[in-house]
Structure 1
Amino acid sequence: MEKEIFLDIACFFSTDQFRGYDGWFETSKKILGYRGFYPEIGMKVLVEKSLISYHRGKICMHDLLKELGKTIVREKTPKEPRKWSRLWDYKDLQKVMIENKEAKNLEAIVIDIEKYQEEFLQRTMTVDALSKLIHLKLLMFKNVNFSGILNYLSNEMTYLYWKNYPFMSLPSSFHPDQLVELILPYSNIKELWKDTRYLPNLEILDLKYSQNLIEMPDLSGVPHLRDLDLEGCTKIVRIDPSIGTLRELVRLNLRNCKNLFLNLNIIFGLSSLVVLNLSASAIYFKSPDAIGNLHSLVILNLGGNKFVTLPNTIKQLSKLRFLILEHCKQLKYLPELPTPKKRKNHKYYGELNTFNCPNLSEMELIYRMVFSWMTQIFEVHWQSSLSFNRLNIVIPGTEIPRWFSKQNEGDSISMDPSPVMDNPNWIGVACCALLVALHDPSNIGNRWRNLPFDFGSMGFSFQNKQVLNKTSRALPIHLQNDLVTGELDHLLILFASREGFLLFPSEDETDMHGLDTRGFTTSIYDHPKGLRMQVKSCGYRWVFKEDLQQLNPNMMFRGNPSSRKRKLLSSD
């Protein structure tokens, strides 16, 4: 199997193809596994033979070895790509499509037309020849244009990724028993399939931003589905109730399904759910307390919805680590937050986000509740073997608390950890930034690096402003003109462990950066037209064990609930 793995890596997985695809390294390993190649064993052998190496989450192979692999694939019939086992070049694919003949040997196609390949982006091929690829097991198309009617796809498929899939449904003859992942983002699909389709090995179904999708069919034939992503399917109105039978579903993303009419009690019985994203969706609770049944839930995103309050049973979700409520503009009250549960051998990340919740009331109570949740997390960490990494909180506030002993105006502050490096009681750093979102008619709009919409509008770095090409960690704060209607002041409060701070950005002990480059720097990725985010000031404090023992709400949070102007302050 080492030879097959070597050829796949040479042709597909060591290149920059699909470099915008999240988790490409892990995806490559999964695909090799789907193809029956035992990647854990085979890739180890290739590393030992110096045929491949790993660097920062990438599989690396020398260009000469890549060319050797491709030569082996082409060896017997160099001018007849139809007879090869793999296709990786658009021109060869085009030749196969034009010939429109049976291709018995062809098992894998990975084609990505980059933006700079304008000559190919403008071309369209007829799709007929795909029906002749009867043994195709791996198909990945990105920015490849087809016309015609798709009547057949290989039933031996194990992995199908097709961005901008141009057809309105899957072929009726498509029954791939071994298919594990079906990924069709930005597709033209209106109806995935009719009736029930039995796909016993399907684990991931991704149709995000398929703008013409109207409904999801019967899903009872996919009993092992673990991940369903329908984000941005703005026309979908119905999901078949059979979704409630998916007892292995771990992740459900219904973000921005704004026309979906869904009774959430259908999914509240899915105790396996770890991630549930319902932001900006038209949802309703018949029995809202049933959300407490989601005992495995770690991430809950309810942003952009019209709740006034949330079910008190959220406090029963002991594994919950991320609660995202941004743009819940009618939200008045926060529920009691769950007591964190001890977990071994896991890095802890936590987040509470109440950005743009202008109607929140009883702020004194909210501050104390947030403080209690925060300190419980610290207690769980230091009483167990839990590896703490980072905790983020976004909450209304107009002034950085004085507890953050080092402060500076502007969007960054330099940090010198050398005085605390040898102190055994030094456990981490607490940072704070005062954020202001305001309307700015002069701003014509600016989106940094063409980032995807769901990336967020802001990030942070533990590198100072003098570092070129800083690596930032994104924060899920999203600026949207139709949601931000007035000037908003918020505090970003961030706690990072000693290890998380020193190893930033790689978390690799062999890649620790110099102390002289340290700082807390914020970055704004997105300024929508007519709207602007400004970081007025930043602050930080080195945190020691005794700090946590002495910390109390009056040191971190103090507010006057009778005052019309909410503030987040601290005492001396």
Structure 2
Amino acid sequence: MWDDCEFYPENGIEVLLLMSFVKIGDNNELRMHDQLRDLSRDIVHQENFKEPGERSRAWLHKEASDILETHTGTRKVEALCVDFGLESHACCLTNEEFSDLSNLRFLQMGTMQTWMEILSIARKLKALNLTGCSYMVRTPDFSAYETLERLILEECESLVHIDPSIGYLKSIVFLNLKNCAKLSRLPVEFDSVESLTELLIEGTSIEEFPVGRGVMKKLETLSATCCGSLTQISTSISDLKSLSVLTFDLTKLPDSIGKLESLIELRLFGTRFTDLPDTIGNLKSLRVLDIDYSFIMKLPSTIGMLLKLEELHASHCYNLKGEIPSNVERVSCLRILRIDCTNICSLPTSIGLSHLQTLDLLGCRELQFLPELPSSLVIDETSMSVINYHCRRLLNTSIYAVLALVVLWDAAASLRLSLVNLADLTYTIVLNFFSLVNCTFVSLIACYSLGYILSVAF
């Protein structure tokens, strides 16, 4: 779209960011400062003070509706915003009102009964957002929109059929079908969509994903969570050589997943299978592995082969038991390890992870031993400087490792050792407490094995 408008965003947006006129939002949207918006509108207004139809943009409903109803629009109009709401005469608009707007690139409309007919003349359309068209059962004919790059059909709850003409969209790079709950299949003509880089089908009833038909060679992002009818995926998923972000919640993951050489993020939140294939160790580019809330029972021994892995999330995997594979020490890039609320009983004897910053063990009730931990660990500012282990089976011998780590965190304002199997507070441990110069709160709730506390500690 930028190229078609002969804009150069790489340099321009960077300058605007530095001047604080625009910023990039959480969802990668471009947000504009009010002053820049007003300045831009003033520039457009100066294009022609008297005739809105001679300007490049019309954002006020009254001006936009006048352009359409009086047929005063010209080739200069590139963007139009109109919202008739519940006004009955909105239904009277047809192609004729848009016939002179041959360079229209952006059209925003509210409640319109004739939008499909009107869109048929928008030959240069780059983006089409039909979010929330709850009564649309079938998509319009896309054959007229060969330059369309982004198609958003999110929350079209009645949609059951995508028109076969989607195969004509040779330039499309983004397709959003999120929460189209009645959509159960993609048309065969989808095979012809070769330019697609991002596909979101989460919350649909799609039963089969069209891999293995020699399509979507450029696909980089695929999200298919909450697809209850999509229980497994073809081994041909390995054909998606450009795939870098994959999000699934299937009942089975094929061994061929290990052939996705470009995969950077693998998110399997809430998956129903119990084992990860050993071939996952072949994902040499993988940086994020997320199996939160899954039924995984153990981590594969090949996890130590993921040399570029930076984040491992396994929170609330209640079936995850036993030990963390010792070769995890080889993953030297690991920054985040979250295994909270699991039944892991031990960590490797020595965690030689020089870049590890976050280690979450909250609620690991079966954890019996803490090894020597790296000094790279830091307190998360959002945790209010609270160190909370809550590990019921943590043995007395390992409490020294806990307190040695606490000394590194001299910013800690609170120390909680609730449910730790601590037998006593010896003189050595008291000396460690004294190192916590900022600590104002100590909790030993439910340390049932605690026999005595030296009075010097307080």
- Shared fold by TM > 0.5? yes
Deviations 1:141-164 (A, max 9, x none): 7xx433346133412112333422
Q: Is this contact kept in 2: 1:220–1:242, CA < 8 A?
A: no
Change (3 A) 1:170 1:314: same
Query: How large is the RMSD of aligned CA atoms in angstroms?
Result: 4.6
After TM superposition, the structure 1 = structure 2 runs for residues 90-101 of structure 1, keeping only pairs within 5 Å, are 90-93=61-64
Report whether the alignment pairs 1:336 with 2:292. no
**Counterparts of residues 32-71 of structure 1 (less than 5 Å):** 32-43=2-13, 53=21, 61=33, 63=35, 66-71=37-42
Deviation at 1:83, TM superposition (A): 4.5
Matched-pair contact (CA < 8 Å) for 1:161–1:183: yes
Q: Map 1:496-535; keep pairs closer than 5 Å.
A: 518=381, 520-521=383-384
How far apart, in 2, do the equivalents of 1:87 and 1:61 lie? 19
Deviation at 1:276, TM superposition (A): 1.4
Counterpart among 253, 266, 278 of residue 300 in structure 1: 266
Pairwise mapping of residues 175-194 of structure 1 onto structure 2 (< 5 A)? Answer: 175-188=144-157, 189-194=159-164
| Pairing 1:276–2:246 present | yes
- Offset at 1:227? 0.8
Distance 1:246 1:257 in 2: 20
2:286 to 315, 320, 325: 320
Contact 2:338 2:361 survives alignment (8 Å): no
Which residue number in structure 2 is paired with residue 529 of structure 1? Answer: none
Select which of 108, 111, 120 maps to 2:79.
108
Which residues of structure 1 form unaligned runs of 5+?
1-30, 114-119, 382-387, 404-425, 437-487, 505-517, 524-534, 545-572
1:358 to 318, 323, 339: 318
> How many residue pairs get matched?
375
Aligned to 1:394: 339
Partner of 1:368: 324
CA distance in 2, matches of 1:272, 1:106: 38
Distance (whole Å) between structure 2 residues aligned to residue 521 and residue 163 of structure 1: 40
Q: 1:358-437 to 2 correspondence within 5 Å?
A: 358-360=318-320, 363-364=321-322, 367-369=323-325, 372-373=327-328, 375-378=329-332, 381=333, 390-397=335-342, 429-432=357-360, 434-435=362-363
Structure 2 Cα separation of the partners of residues 341 and 169 of structure 1: 44
Cα distance in structure 2, aligned partners of 1:90 and 1:537: 59
CA offset digits 1:101-134 (Å, max 9, x no partner): 76533323478x9xxxxxx877795474686454
**Counterpart-to-counterpart distance in 2, 1:206 and 1:226:** 11
**Equivalent residue of 1:228, what SS?**
strand
User: Counterpart of 2:127?
Assistant: 159
Which is strand-richer, 1 or 2?
Answer: 1
Determine the C-alpha separation between the residues in 2 that align with 1:497 and 1:78.
Answer: 66
Q: Deviations over 1:260-306 (max 9, x none)?
A: 36542232321221111112x5x656xx3222221222222233333
- Does the CA-based 8 Å contact 1:159-1:179 persist in structure 2? yes
1:229 Cα deviation from its structure 2 partner: 0.8
Q: Distance in 1 between matches of 2:243 and 2:407?
A: 35
Contact 1:35 1:158 in 2 (8 A): no
Residues 13-70 of structure 1 show CA distances to partners (whole Å, capped at 9, x for unaligned) of xxxxxxxxxxxxxxxxxx544532112344567789x7x745676665562x533421
Structure 1 residue 182: deviation in Å?
Answer: 2.0
- Asked if structure 1 preserves the Cα contact closer than 8 Å seen for 2:336 and 2:357, the reply is no
Question: 2-side partners of 1:312 and 1:289: how far apart?
Answer: 8
1:231 aligns to 2:159 (yes or no) = no
One-letter amino acid of the structure 2 residue matched with residue 301 of structure 1: R
Q: In the TM superposition, what is the alpha-carbon distance from 1:213 to its structure 2 partner? A: 2.3
Task: After superposing the two structures, state which structure 1 stretch, 123-132 or 333-342, moved more.
Answer: 123-132
The alignment status of 1:136 with 2:104, answered yes or no, reads yes
Higher relative contact order, chain-length normalized (CA < 8 Å, sep 6+): 1
Which SS does the other structure have where 2:190 is aligned?
coil
Question: Whole-Å Cα distance in 2 between the matches of residues 352 and 402 of structure 1?
Answer: 15
- Structure 1: distance between partners of 2:61 and 2:406: 54
Structure 2 contact 336–356 (Cα < 8 Å) conserved: no
| Partner of residue 451, structure 1 | none
- TM superposition shift of 1:77: 5.3
C-alpha distance 296-80 of structure 1, shift in aligned 2 (>3 A): same
Q: Give the TM-score, by structure 1 length.
A: 0.53
Change (3 A) 1:358 1:434: closer
Q: Which amino acid aligns with 2:8?
A: Y
Computing the radius of gyration from Cα coordinates, the structure with the larger value is 2
Percentage of pairs with the same residue: 22
CA distance in 2, matches of 1:225, 1:497: 44
- What residue identity is the alignment partner of 2:201? L
- Does the Cα contact within 8 Å between 1:434 and 1:489 map onto a contact in 2? no
Structure 2 unaligned segments of length 5 or more: list them. 349-353, 392-401, 409-458
